[in-house]
Every structure is written in structure tokens, then in C-alpha cells.
Structure 1
Amino acid sequence: MRLTFIFILSISSLISFGYNQEDSLRVAQLRSEAKLRIKENNLSECILKLKEAISLAKEITLSDEYINKELVSVLANRYSNIGDFERAIELNLVLKDFYLKSEDYTRYIWTLNNLGIYYNNQGKYKEAKRYFQDGYRFANKLNLKSDQIDLLDGLVHTNISLGEFANAKRSLNNEKRLLSISNDEFKDIQTVYYNYAQATYFDKINQKDEAIKAYKKAIHTAKKIGDRKLVSAAIELANLYLTTNKYKLATEQIAEVFEFYDITSNPLIKDPYLLQAYFINAQALRGMGERQKALLMIHKAEEQATFFHSQYMFTESKFFLDEYRRKNLELGVTLCNQLWEQTNDSKYVIQALLMADNAKSNVLKERVITARMLSGASINEDDKVLRFQLVYQLNELKSSGNKEELIRVRNRLDSLNTIIGVHKTDDEFNLDAFQKQLSEEQLVVEYFFADSLCYQFSISRQSVAIHNLGVLTISEIAKFYSLVSVGTSDIEEFSEVGSRLYNRLIKSVLDENVKINKLIIIPDKSLNYLPFGAIITTMDKKTWSDLGYLEKSYAISYGFSLQSLAQQSKVKMSYGYLGFAPDFSSTSELAYLKNGEEVLSQAKEILGGRIFLNEDATAENLIAHGLRSKVMQLYTHAVSSDSSYNASYIYMQDRKIFVDEIMSLPLQTDLCLLTACEVGLGKNYNGEGVTSVAWAFRVAGAQNVVQSMWKLNEQSSSQLMGDFFTNMSQGQNSSKALSNAKKMYLEDNTISARLKHPFYWAGISHFGKGTSGKSSKSSSSWIGILALLIGTLVYLGIRVIARRQAGRAKEV
């Protein structure tokens, strides 16, 4: 597609409108500097210049026509160039309405085309097709042949992605026909795009030789006219060569990309295409047996990914980037393991571990650093409150349809983040320092899937080791989850599957570390749904209470990543305990939680602190008072959804708080107890992990989170958590207290054998290194906290009547 903006107004025309000459000149200068940065491929600096120009132009009240045509449209394209498609879409939706209202139909069509491109790049092909079709119909009605070519090109790609190859071929033929009669000044560029679309079509219908010819045509013409499409065509052709093991030819195509960017003269240049190029080059070099050179390409690709992750404002855009980043780091882990096996050099083990850890929980890592920064005394309290309010406004505006106000608030938040330094998240993880914090009895075990294999890293105070566990299928994990998450499964089948997982996943590393009694598990992918404490070390027992659960031998906690564990810190708390219990008795939509006041009042009596009941259990009070409590409990309903990270939320008395808003809370809470079922479930992003409500509270700064994986039984959860708080009152770390509570539950002869099934006790998990819970009050008084867990987990099984329409949601 050709560039969809034109520089129209000159400096003199700006001044002739009667605006302040000095400020007008400054706007024009910033616009010119931005244009220069485009030529230099310095996209991030270009974006900063354009944002500054837009801010100043609005301040001196330049016309909407100038601002939108000359600045906003260019900014939207630059966001798309760096892969921040959410921001590009947001701006183009406003431009679309503006151009239609002002009857600028040419730009209106271009904007529809842009929206189609951005949605297509996000993988939202149906939305993309709708915009391409709308634009094509409009262009056809106005007989704008050149625009029809652009839109047909977009339809080719979306139809291919949707598997509608007949429609793709029809659009391709129409594009070719219009090109043959075109005398448009953009014909050469459009020919490049046509050849690229043709190559993509041939590739998808498995006509590889024809695809190669078409890609070469696109590259040749793009190189002749200096068009950026050379990059994407060369990358796709290199990918095609990889599939046929033509590694040398693949590296030659990537060399074309490097030449286009002139990386020899400008090695620090940043562009999302370079992330892809370095990764493809690494694959080709690996195929040629050049592992060291391939590993260098992996590191270069990671530099690109890290940079753009810090540039994106939208969490969704970060997730999109991190999925590709993960592929690169998976190859890096595989290469490091091969080099370690080849050389026995331990530096490759360390590199592999750091790559595996960098491939997950990057949004969490970034936001935890932000939360820690926002908790500091250096940031004004008014700025903290304003930031949270702006995030709340954004969530409200997303469903309001007020696009211009949405962008205004987004820009305010972006500016505030810049002023207070939120984007400065370059903390380096120090593995040596992390190891020194571990006790002699602790072992961290991190899992990572790469190249169909499961790797296991064990980190102790003295050493780091890597094990290749081979192929581990999702079906193995899913089978165990189906057995553990219902209370009626067969004991022999359960024992067999649980024992097999123990032998596959962790037995060997525990045999190598016999002094260990505390485990921190960092799962990956399907292992996020595995309660490790319930897997079986021995099979010679015939009752549920006698089985050799891993939980009996080790205090088990979980982490999202090594870096998230390392970022746990101690802060001064305002309250010992803070509880919130909204009242749902007046609504038929949500089940009534009847014991909230009693539960929270007992907790307050024991722990000290403050509670907010009924109409006082509001989001406003959570913001005002809930950020600096040692223990925070939310006794409420919640929703977990696998449709999108921000489709999950909790209910307060006055409104819902979505995950994105939870993430913005500058929490300093030591322990967060979530009163909702399945809050450990959510959308699983390949480059982040499970983005659950529990994940969101950790992102916000909660040091430790207790969550549930399934709906629990009232009787067993009450007993279990009563023991948990009793243990904490005696000074036990919260992680150990929960593990010991599970052991006490299994050893309690007053509990029936049937209720010893892991369904009744293994679904509650602890994330974080733990916190001390010793109370200044009498230990015996902690027994009263039994009622707290009736509030904390009893109602985990209560379901919400209403269903969220967008995506498949689980509500409680």
C-alpha cells in the first residue's frame, strides 16, 4: 500500500492563518524533523517529535484539518511501523470519522484501508476484511481506480488468511487488471505490493516455485525505487527458503534487509522488521551448523524486542510483540543447550536460563517495576491518584464510543507517565544476587518449552543446572487436571498418572538435591494448570490420605518468573489487614454473599486494620486505603475469561474493576487473598503466561497472592484455611503456612477419607516467596480466622447468573 498521508500545508500557510508565528514555526519545524527521522529509519524519535508537534498545535488552536492531515495521520502510520497497531487503530478510527464528516472522501478511503491493514497485522482478519470491503465499495462508487488497487491488495491477504482462496484469487485478478490500465504515479509501488500478494497466494496454495519468482519480482522493483516493502518481501522469501532447508539462500535475502537498513553504518538502528530478520538469520545459521553466529543473531533480535516492548503503551501490543519474541528466545534456549552439551561450558546454561526467563511475564516484570516506582516517596501522591483515575477513565471510554475523548485521555496518561518516569523500566536482573537470597533448603525449578521439548532449570544457592525432559504433551497435563479437579476420580488412575508426571517432571532434580525441603515452581504453558503438590512420589498406598503427595515432603510455592520473584521487596504498611465485602443482596444478577460482615470483622479483630462493608466497599475506598495493607482480602464476585486479558474483572460495590485497572494500582501489599473461584485462570498468552486476576494483583505490586484453580468445597476450604492462618499466627512464612495446612488437613483423622481427595485441598496455591504473618495478639485468637476462609474460599463455587457477552467467561 502506498503511504496514506501527504504534506500539504507549508510554513507560510500556517502563518497566514493568523496563528502565533513563533509557535507555528515550531510546529512546522517539529513536523519537518519528524519527516527527517522517517528517512533515517529512526521511528521512535519520529513519534516523539510528532507527539510534541500535536500537543503544541492543539495548545495554539491550529485547525483540526491541519492537525489531523499533517500530524495525526503521520503519527498513526509511525505507530503501525513500530508494530503498535492498537494505537494506530485508535487514531485512525478518529481520522475516519473526521474525514467522512469533512467530506474528504479520498482520505476517508485511505483510512479504511489503513484500518484493514492494522487489523490484518493483528490477526483480526474478519474485521480487516470488513474495512477493506467498505473502502473498496466506496472507491468503486467514486471510480477511484488507484484506491481500488490498494484495497483489493488488502482483500487478497485477508482472504488468504481466512482460507478463502477462491476469493483471494478473484481479488488478485482484479488487482492485476486495474494495474494493467493504470497510469497512476504510485503504479510502481502498487506493482511491488501486487507481486508480494501474488507470492503470498502461491506460497499458501503450495506453489513454491511461483511464490519465489513473485517475491523476487517484488524485491527487485522495491529495491529499484527504494521502497520499504523490500524488507517484508525479503523476509518472507527467506522464510520460504528455510522451509526447504536452503539456508544459504535465506541468509542472502536477510543480507538484503541489512543492506536496506545499512546496519553496518548504523548498528543501533531499531525496527520491528529487524527483530524478524535477526531471528530468521539465526534459524538459517543454525541450519548451517553455525551455532555461535546464530546465538549472536538471537541476542540482536532480543535487543530489538526489548526496545519496542518499552515503547508500546498498549498491553495488547506488548503481548503481540512478546509472542514473536518468545519464538526467538525458544531458539536461543535450544542453541545454548546444544552449545553446553558440545562444550560443557556453564555460561551457556546461564544464558539459556536467562533467555527462558525473559520469554515469559515481561508485562508483569515491567508493571511490577512501575508499581514499585509509584509506591516510592519521590512521586507525588496527587500524580499517583491521577494516574489511576486516567486508567479508569480509559476503561470506561473504551465502551463509550467517544473516540476523541479516549485519545485525549490516552495522551494525558502517556504524558503523565513520561513526566513521572514510568517508562524507565530498565532494571537489570542479577542472578548471583538472587541465588544468594535463597536459603540452603530452597530450590527454584523453572520450566520452559522450546522446539517441542520441555527444559527444566534448577536454581539453588550454589548452582544452576539444565535438564532436557524431552517431549511433554498437553494431553498428559490435561489428563491429570481432569482427575485432580473433580472429587470423584479413581484413585488407581490418579496414582498412575500422578506418579508418571512426578517421574517425568521433577524426580531426578530432587534426587540431586536431597537437602531441599522448600520448592518454588515457575511453570510454563500447560504446566500453569498443574498443582505440583498433588503429584505422586509413591504408589503403594490405597487411600487418598496415604498417597505420597509431593506436598507432604516439600513446602511448595509458585512464581511467574525469576525476575518477578527477585522484585519482591519490603515496605512500610499503614494497616495490618484491610478487607472489602460488597453487598449483592439487592441484585438478582449476582449471588448474595451473606457472611461478609462477620468474616471481615473477625479478621479485623485478630489482625488489626480496617474493613469496608456494603456501600463502603467501593473502588474509591480501595484506591484511597487499600494500597498499603499488609494483608488485603477481597470478599466479592469475580470473572475470569479466556477471551482477552482485560475481559476479567472483580466486582466492587459501585462498579467493576477490570484487569487493566487492577494492574495500575500501586499496591504495597504483602499478601493478597482473592475471594473468587478460578482467579488463577485467564487468557494464556504465549509470551506472557496466564493473565488471570491473580496475575493482575501481582502485576500491581502485591508481593504474594493466594489464589484458587477451581471451585472448592466449603467444608474442606474452611478447615484448610483455618489451619493456614493458625500457622501464620505462629510466625510461619505464608508459603510454608499454606503447605503445612495441607499436610495437617491430610493428617486430620476427623476428616472423612473421601474428603482427602486432592480436589478438596490442592486447588489453593501460593504465588511468591512468602511473608511472615506473626501476630502480636494471642495465637489462640487466630483460630477465629477460620471464618475468614469461609469468606475467602467458601463462595468460590458460587456462580454468577449473568454472562459476559464478549468471549467465554467464568463468573463467580
Structure 2
Amino acid sequence: MKTFLHLFDNTIISYIYSYNKKRKNIFFLFLFFISIVSGFTQEVSATFDSIYKLPEKNIDKLSLYNNLFNTYQKNNDFKQLGLETYELAKKVYKQSIDTAIYYNQKAIDATLKTNPIDSCLLKSCYYNVGFYNKRKKDYIKAIAGYKKSLTLKDCKNLSKGARKHLPKTYFALASHFFQNGDYFTAAKNYQKSLDLTPPNEIGQMINSHTRIGRSYKNMRDLTSGKKALYHFLKADSLYKTLSDQNIENNFIFYNNIAGQYAQNGQHLNSSNESTQNALKYYAKSIELAKKITNPVLLEEFYYNLGITYQTIDLKKAEQYFLKSIDAAHQLENNFKKYTFLGLGITASLNKKHKQAQEYFLKSLVYFLQKENITENTPISDKQLYTVQDKERLLELFRSQMENWDRMLDESQSTEVAKLMIQKAKLSDRLITIMLKEDLSNSSKLLIRNLASEIYILALEACYSINDIKNAFYFAEKNKAILLIQNIKKNSTSIDNTPIIKPTYFSNPNLISILPFEEINLVENEVILHYVMAERLLGKVPDAYGIYISKSIKKIFKIADTDGLITNIKTLRKKLDTPFVTEEDQQNYYNLSNKVLNTIIPTEIQKDLPNKKLTVLGDHILNFIPFEPLIIDKKLNKYLIEICEVRYDYSLTFKEENKNIIRKPSKEFLGIAPIYFDTLTSLKNSEKEILLGKKYYTGETQTDKNTTKQNFINNATNYKILHLATHANASDSIQPWIAFRDSKLSLQELDTIKNNAELVILSACNTSIGKINQGEGVMSLARGFFKSGAKAVIPSLWKTNDKASFYIIATFYKYLHEGQTSSAALRSAKIDYLKTHTDAEASPYYWAPLIIIGDSTPILSQKKYNSLYILPLVIIAVIIFFIIRYRRKMIEA
């Protein structure tokens, strides 16, 4: 029967199809008949085979195949459908990979509907998911396919094939990320490739170790450098086990190892161990270089030597860079952009500033692949987009600015300062383009490191010519870059969520810096805006401040930042404990006054009394509150005693956050878990949240009701959220807030929406977090802002129960009476200082709670009710007396 059908199909179908393609209806009816009969065979049908043997390409016969497949679909013949769509995918992949993927997926869907499932066919389909997508260079889907294939019982020896292809696919995926400058993700995937490589494939293991090393090398920080060196040394040791070695490969290994030792040493000198190791491997490379004729290898080798000698011998550095260019004079590659950049940096360090700029421009020619570039040549965004290595281009711009900065140190020049500002604006455009690209957060952090340095250099230029307008822009943009995180938000609409969501924390495309001209301050309002950043090589941070009031606008530079950092660290330790002796107290007064005088110039201090001060901190300045700093050393008067202090991230964020429309349905939610599964009990926490309920309508949750999920479900409904619980923003893995059953991480907090006018985090160090270079202080307070809060009161260190209870109770009283949240917190602290003396008056007790964000009054429904009830009572009393009076008159 099967043979007959096969012969019959071949003859009749060919005849009908070739005789008249227009007679499709007759053909499809015949096809339907054949498919029903051949369906009984449960193999690839004679009909399918006959279509395949028609002279046209399979891609041109899809309508015939689809008609057959539709017949199977109508008959619920999923086994035949799965088998033949799988076969068709195999037959068309060379003509159209997307078509193959489509039919292979139909095969999977059909096979999953069969009972029993043909596991071998299913395994084959998943294997081909890997094969087809790898061919398409969609490596992530390819990896998923191979992995899925390996979960099924082996057949056709497919498991061996999947295990062979998986490491190669990871390797290809890693190479894609490497080429796009995402070295962190590249290293991760190269490592996965290495982990899956069989131990007998030494060559592939060597290649993976080398690529992992190169990925870590490009991250250019000490921790990554150590990892890079490990993998380079591992590759070298594996290579030595091979019998077939050659000079060029040995040369490459020695060059990589030497260069990494040099990079890890950072500031190399003749007695430095890293320097000695670097020079030892370079000496081996130099011996081999005499036998090497490959100009590409020699170009990179001499470049590495130039980089190494930049910190120990500038003359030799220049010689090796020139050798690199000479070795590659006949090459058409683009590596010279790095060599000329190295020559420029070397000339700048050697105080040959004009020559340095000439080298930098030559480097720029290779980056942009455009001749005749001068400093005034306009560069479009389109040109910046097309640059392959944008990160190194950004380094070139920074190096140019550093060269001009060195010129400013030697002699002040308005022209040079303007060149720096112009270059900073070009860098700013490039930074925005880079942050839009699909890189890992870690790679973006590296970009933000460079960006932060550039904005600092720009501030130096602005400071030198007193350009307050551009200084403000660069300070604000620096903060914006520090705060950007690409957290994907749930787009599902939720009732009572903010109508305008904060974008400042989420998307670089939407950053629009507040223009300086639009800063509107009232007479008693002043702003202190700080910017601080560390250089990549670990140099002492530069620091600048901008003071803005109605009448004063001033940029100032903070002197002795090294000493400032030391003093702030010491001061912070003193704040963490109460005074024990008078000597402790006096030492604190002296040190805090010294810190205040360092960060606030004397002429600005004179303008602060009776003002509302907003502090926009940065870097280590975020680790101390300003209120307990001593402003009057003779009277030992705290800053809080002369002015009201609040904090914010930046003016741009302040304006954006203020414009969010919040519509909470309820007033107050107090949460006090009291007991925890793994943490110590907080038996007094319930008393604290009852203070809020005393003045505001709402509810409190304690003990078993205080689960993480309950908070997530209810957070969006309340005007005031008060959390009295455990927390830790300094957790090395992930900052968290504790609930009865589990911890809420900072990452989870980012995804929760709230409508809160005020969030009170009465817990341990909820504002302090890890300082990531170029990213600022990570904190739980910031997490609440990202989810919609208008203002947050966090703690900077572990609070004292008794003092915290007093301050929060008084705070709620003043807030209920109509004071702004900032004024109410200050009033509460002032009251505490008036009613406590000696050790109890230590800043440790009263200073940890600060307010960040917009400070506005929060009127309660209870107060509204009392305002309405009192007149009604008075009216009722008057009516009572009138009625009583009339009765007496009538009786009389």
C-alpha cells in the first residue's frame, strides 16, 4: 500500500502541479485524499515526499506544505504534524533560517500535544532550536535550545552534539558582548564556555582563559585586573603542556601577562613587585620580538611597553609608542588611535601640552576616520554613534581635558578653561549616547566613573572663570549620571499610582537638566550643592560646592579633600556613640567645626541664620548629617540651632519629584513587625507607630499582619508610611528592610509603587549605603523615592529607642499642627536639645533622623474634623442658650 501510494503520488502530483499550477483547488482536494490514506502509515507521508520531489525550491512550495499541515491540524493528527514540520524545517534552513525556526517551533508545539510524546523527536527539535539560532547568531535562544535538548533522554547521540555546541555558543555570545564593549557580560559568558569545555580540549580552554583575561583587563580596575592575570597565567600554563608550540603564541602570552602586571601595578616604580613581574615578562617578550615578523603583534607589544613606562620613565614610554607606530606603518588597522592617545598622555605628563594636543587630534582622526580634524571641527551625534570603541573615545576626551587642566595649574587661561567646557559638553553628548546602549549595569557603572571625572574637570574649568551657569549644569548632570539605573518597571496600570512617574532614576533618554535660570528661591531659602568624585587610579577626590540663594550665587573649591575624608570618617565614628566624658564632647566640637569650615566657606556661613538650607550631598558627605556640625565654636552652637536643614539628590530630581500627582486613598499606615523569624524582637516599635495614628486617621499593623506581601499590597494606598523595623542599607549583598516573615530587598523595593507624601524609616542606617565609584550612595531611602515617595525620613545610624520615640512623638505633634515635615523635624530636635543635657544631648541621640525630599505640610483628617466640629459645637451651644432664653421669656 505504502509503495503504491508513493509511486502514485510521484506520478500524479507531479503531473497536476506541472500541468497547471492554477488548478489549485483540484490539487488540494487530491492532496487531502492522499493525506488521509497516508496518515495511517504514521511516517513521513508519501504526500510530503512527493511535494519535496517537485522541481521547485522548498521555500517556494510552502503553500502546498501548509495545506497538508492544515489537514493534520483539522484531524488532530499532531504526531504527523510534528514529524513533517520538523522535516520541512531541516529542508529549508539553508534557504531561510527564519522559516526553519518557524516550522521547527510548530513541530515542538505539535509534538507536545501527542500522547505519548515522541521524546526523541522533541529532543531533535530542541537541538535544532540551538542549531538554527546559532546559525542566525541569536546565541541566547540557541543556548536555551541546546540546554532544553539535554534535559531529555538521549537519542541519535544528540546529547554529545549539544554538549559540544554549548560551550562554542557561549563563546560566540561572549564575543558579541566583547565586541560591543560589554566586558562584564563577556567575561561571564566566556567563563560559562570554559566551564562546559571538556578537559581534553586544551586549545579551547586556552582560548577561553585568554578571552576571559582580556575581558577583565578591559574593565581596568584592580579587582578585575587580578582576575585577568589569573586567566592569562592559566592560559600560559596550559599552553606549555602542548607539544606543538610556536614563537608567536608564546609571545602573545608573555605580552598579555606583562601588560596585566603593569596595569595591576597602577603607579609603577622600580621597587614595585608588579613592576618587576611586568618587566620580567616583557624581557621574555623582547627576546621573542627579535624573531617575530607579525606587525600586528609587534604593534600591540610596543604599545603595552609604552603604557607600562608612562609611570616610571616618560622618555622610554614615548620611544616604545613610536616603535608601535613604526611597526604598524604599513597596516590599515585602527589600532593607532590608542597609540597616539598614549603618546598624547605621555607628552602631557612631560608638560609638553601643545604636542600632547597634536597627538590627541591624531588619535581622534582614527576614532572618527575623518581627516583634517582641528579642535574647532564640529562633531555630530551621528559621527559619535558610529564610533566602535566609544569608551576609549571618552577616555581621549578626558585626557584632553586633563592636559588643559595641567595647563591651568601652570597659568590661568580663560581660553583654555573654555576649551575644557566645550570638550565637556561634547563628552556629555557621547555619555548620553553610551548610556542608551544595551550594556550591563556594571559596564554602565564603568562609563559613569569616566563621566564623573569629566564633570569634575569641567567644574574646575568653571571655577577658574566663575562660570556658575555651566558649573550648575555639570554638577546636576553628574548627579543624574550617578543616579541612573535601568530598572524595568511593570507597565501594568494600577489604581492610585502616581500619574507622572519619576524618570530621573530610570532612563538616560529622559534626563532634562533643570536650567539654571529656572531656579526660583524665596528669600529665606538657600542651597548647598556638592560634587565629589574619585579618579579611577585611586587619587584623592576633587570636591566643589555651589551656593545658591536669592542674592548669592557662588562656586567654591574645597581645599584639602584628603584631610576632609579623614576627618569625616573620624567624625562619623564619634557620631555613632554618645559622649562619655567632657573631653569626648570637646573633641567632637572641635572636629565638627573643622569639617564645617572646610565644606562651608566663612562668607556663606554668615548668610545661613534663619534660612531653610537644602543640602545636595555627594560621596562621603552623605555619611554625616549637617545639623550637628558646630558653627559657632565659642558658644558650641549646632548648625540646626541657626537654620532648618533638609536634603535632596539634586534640584532636577527635586523639581521632577514635586510635580508627581499623588492620590492616596488613606492617610496613615504604621508597620511594626515586633517579632521576626531570624532577627531580634523590637518590643517598643508598636508604641512608635501608635504616635502617628494618634494624629492621623489610618491603621497600624503588628506581628503576624506585617508580612512582606501585605506591605507590597498596601503600600500604594497611604499618604504616610511609617516602618518601625530592622533594616540595613550597608548590606554587602543587597540592602534590605525586614518584615515579619522575610526581608524586602532594595531591588524589590524599586518595583513597588507608592503615593506617599512621607515615608518614615525608623530603623538602623536606612540612608547609608555602599559608595560605588561613580554611582553615589546606594540607600533604602533612594529606593522609596524611585517608587514614588515625595519625602523620606531615614536614619543615618542605629537609633536609640528612647530618644527616637521622643523626637518622633514631637515631630508628629508639630506636623499635625501644620508645620512642614522639615520644620517639624527641626522643632522636635530643638525641643530635645532644650530638655536634655550632658551625654543625653549627644548628637548620637537626636541627629540620626534626617529628611530627604520635598518638605510640605501634611494636614490630617482628624484636624479637619476638629476644625469643623468646634464651630458646630459653638453653634449648638448658642442655639441651646437661645432656646433656653426663649423658654424663660415664655414662662415669664
Give the TM-score of the pair, scaled to structure 1: 0.74
Structure 2 residue runs without a partner (length 5+): 1-58, 60-86, 102-133, 150-160, 266-272, 372-378, 408-412, 498-504, 534-539, 867-892
Alpha-carbon offset, residue 521 of structure 1: 0.7
Alpha-carbon offset, residue 19 of structure 1: 5.2
Match of 2:117 in 1: none
Match of 2:857 in 1: 772
Alpha-carbon offset, residue 557 of structure 1: 0.4
Match of 1:155 in 2: 257
Given that 1:53 and 1:71 are in contact with CA atoms closer than 8 Å, whether structure 2 keeps it comes out as no
For 2:190 and 2:827, how far apart are their aligned partners in 1?
56
Match of 2:352 in 1: 246
Alpha-carbon offset, residue 276 of structure 1: 0.9
Which letter maps to 1:765?
A: I
Alpha-carbon offset, residue 334 of structure 1: 1.0
Residues 1:274 and 2:400 aligned together: no
Structure 1 residue runs without a partner (length 5+): 1-10, 29-48, 341-347, 385-420, 542-546, 782-812
Alpha-carbon offset, residue 215 of structure 1: 1.7
Alpha-carbon offset, residue 556 of structure 1: 0.5
Residues 1:427 and 2:511 aligned together: yes
For 1:507 and 1:773, how far apart are their aligned partners in 2?
35
Alpha-carbon offset, residue 476 of structure 1: 3.6
Match of 2:877 in 1: none
For 2:545 and 2:508, how far apart are their aligned partners in 1?
32
Partner of residue 277 from structure 2, selected from 164, 167, 170: 167
Residues 1:283 and 2:402 aligned together: yes
Partner of residue 214 from structure 2, selected from 114, 117, 126: 117
Partner of residue 722 from structure 2, selected from 602, 625, 633: 633
Match of 1:799 in 2: none
Partner of residue 85 from structure 1, selected from 171, 183, 197: 183
Q: Structure 1 residues 550, 652: closer, same or farther in 2, change over 3 A?
A: same
For 2:332 and 2:671, how far apart are their aligned partners in 1?
61
SS of 2:804's equivalent in the other structure is helix
For 2:717 and 2:137, how far apart are their aligned partners in 1?
36
Percentage identity across paired residues of the two chains: 21
Match of 1:444 in 2: 527
Matches within 5 A, 1:299-318: 299-311=425-437, 313-318=439-444
SS of 1:359's equivalent in the other structure is helix
Match of 1:559 in 2: 648
Alpha-carbon offset, residue 66 of structure 1: 11
SS of 2:756's equivalent in the other structure is coil
Given that 1:445 and 1:456 are in contact with CA atoms closer than 8 Å, whether structure 2 keeps it comes out as yes
Alpha-carbon offset, residue 613 of structure 1: 4.2
Q: Structure 1 residues 239, 604: closer, same or farther in 2, change over 3 A?
A: same
Could you list the per-position Cα deviations for residues 63-119 of structure 1 after superposition, in whole angstroms to 9, with x for gaps in the alignment? 979997897645534534554332222322333234x04976534322221221222
Partner of residue 735 from structure 2, selected from 630, 648, 662: 648
Given that 2:532 and 2:542 are in contact with CA atoms closer than 8 Å, whether structure 1 keeps it comes out as yes
Residues 1:537 and 2:631 aligned together: yes
Matches within 5 A, 1:40-79: 53-54=138-139, 73=171, 76-79=174-177
SS of 2:479's equivalent in the other structure is coil
Partner of residue 24 from structure 1, selected from 87, 97, 100: 97
Given that 2:616 and 2:649 are in contact with CA atoms closer than 8 Å, whether structure 1 keeps it comes out as yes
SS of 1:109's equivalent in the other structure is helix
Alpha-carbon offset, residue 523 of structure 1: 1.9
For 1:559 and 1:336, how far apart are their aligned partners in 2?
23
Could you list the per-position Cα deviations for residues 403-433 of structure 1 after superposition, in whole angstroms to 9, with x for gaps in the alignment? xxxxxxxxxxxxxxxxxx9756323122357
For 2:162 and 2:665, how far apart are their aligned partners in 1?
48
Q: Structure 1 residues 77, 55: closer, same or farther in 2, change over 3 A?
A: closer
Partner of residue 457 from structure 1, selected from 521, 540, 546: 546
Q: Structure 1 residues 518, 300: closer, same or farther in 2, change over 3 A?
A: same
Match of 1:36 in 2: none
Could you list the per-position Cα deviations for residues 513-567 of structure 1 after superposition, in whole angstroms to 9, with x for gaps in the alignment? 47852110112333223321112232344xxxxx422111211001122222222
Q: Which has the higher contact order (CA 8 A, sep 6+)?
A: 1
Partner of residue 621 from structure 1, selected from 698, 703, 710: 710
For 1:18 and 1:137, how far apart are their aligned partners in 2?
45
Given that 2:476 and 2:513 are in contact with CA atoms closer than 8 Å, whether structure 1 keeps it comes out as no
Q: Structure 1 residues 102, 250: closer, same or farther in 2, change over 3 A?
A: same
Residues 1:572 and 2:673 aligned together: no
Which letter maps to 1:111?
A: S
Match of 1:519 in 2: 613
Q: Structure 1 residues 482, 65: closer, same or farther in 2, change over 3 A?
A: closer
Partner of residue 477 from structure 1, selected from 560, 568, 580: 568
Which letter maps to 1:466?
A: I
SS of 2:333's equivalent in the other structure is coil
Q: Structure 1 residues 482, 262: closer, same or farther in 2, change over 3 A?
A: closer
Match of 1:194 in 2: 301
Q: Which has the larger radius of gyration?
A: 2
Match of 1:593 in 2: 682
Alpha-carbon offset, residue 250 of structure 1: 1.5
Given that 2:676 and 2:740 are in contact with CA atoms closer than 8 Å, whether structure 1 keeps it comes out as no
Matches within 5 A, 1:116-155: 116-122=213-219, 123=221, 124-142=224-242, 143=244, 145=246, 146-155=248-257
SS of 1:113's equivalent in the other structure is helix
Q: Structure 1 residues 559, 50: closer, same or farther in 2, change over 3 A?
A: farther
Q: Structure 1 residues 713, 364: closer, same or farther in 2, change over 3 A?
A: same
For 2:675 and 2:257, how far apart are their aligned partners in 1?
49
Could you list the per-position Cα deviations for residues 722-774 of structure 1 after superposition, in whole angstroms to 9, with x for gaps in the alignment? 111111112222122111111111222xx344312222212221111224322
For 1:494 and 1:630, how far apart are their aligned partners in 2?
38
For 1:591 and 1:19, how far apart are their aligned partners in 2?
65
SS of 2:858's equivalent in the other structure is coil
For 2:754 and 2:233, how far apart are their aligned partners in 1?
47
Q: Structure 1 residues 567, 602: closer, same or farther in 2, change over 3 A?
A: same
Give the TM-score of the pair, scaled to structure 2: 0.68
Matches within 5 A, 1:481-496: 481-488=572-579, 490-496=584-590
Alpha-carbon offset, residue 682 of structure 1: 2.2
Partner of residue 94 from structure 1, selected from 186, 192, 199: 192
Could you list the per-position Cα deviations for residues 566-614 of structure 1 after superposition, in whole angstroms to 9, with x for gaps in the alignment? 2213322244333444465554xx3222344565466457534455544
For 1:774 and 1:231, how far apart are their aligned partners in 2?
63
Which letter maps to 2:524?
A: E
Q: Structure 1 residues 25, 703: closer, same or farther in 2, change over 3 A?
A: same
Q: Structure 1 residues 449, 157: closer, same or farther in 2, change over 3 A?
A: same
For 2:250 and 2:779, how far apart are their aligned partners in 1?
44
Matches within 5 A, 1:696-735: 696-735=783-822
Alpha-carbon offset, residue 332 of structure 1: 0.6
Given that 1:51 and 1:75 are in contact with CA atoms closer than 8 Å, whether structure 2 keeps it comes out as no
Partner of residue 763 from structure 1, selected from 813, 824, 848: 848
Given that 1:446 and 1:523 are in contact with CA atoms closer than 8 Å, whether structure 2 keeps it comes out as yes
SS of 1:132's equivalent in the other structure is helix
Given that 1:275 and 1:304 are in contact with CA atoms closer than 8 Å, whether structure 2 keeps it comes out as yes
Which letter maps to 2:348?
A: L
Given that 2:763 and 2:799 are in contact with CA atoms closer than 8 Å, whether structure 1 keeps it comes out as no
Q: Structure 1 residues 71, 564: closer, same or farther in 2, change over 3 A?
A: farther
Residues 1:355 and 2:474 aligned together: yes
Partner of residue 659 from structure 1, selected from 746, 761, 764: 746
Residues 1:323 and 2:408 aligned together: no
For 1:150 and 1:614, how far apart are their aligned partners in 2?
64
For 1:156 and 1:319, how far apart are their aligned partners in 2?
27
SS of 2:509's equivalent in the other structure is coil
Q: Structure 1 residues 774, 144: closer, same or farther in 2, change over 3 A?
A: farther
Q: Structure 1 residues 718, 600: closer, same or farther in 2, change over 3 A?
A: closer
Given that 1:440 and 1:461 are in contact with CA atoms closer than 8 Å, whether structure 2 keeps it comes out as yes
Partner of residue 260 from structure 1, selected from 350, 363, 366: 366
Match of 1:801 in 2: none
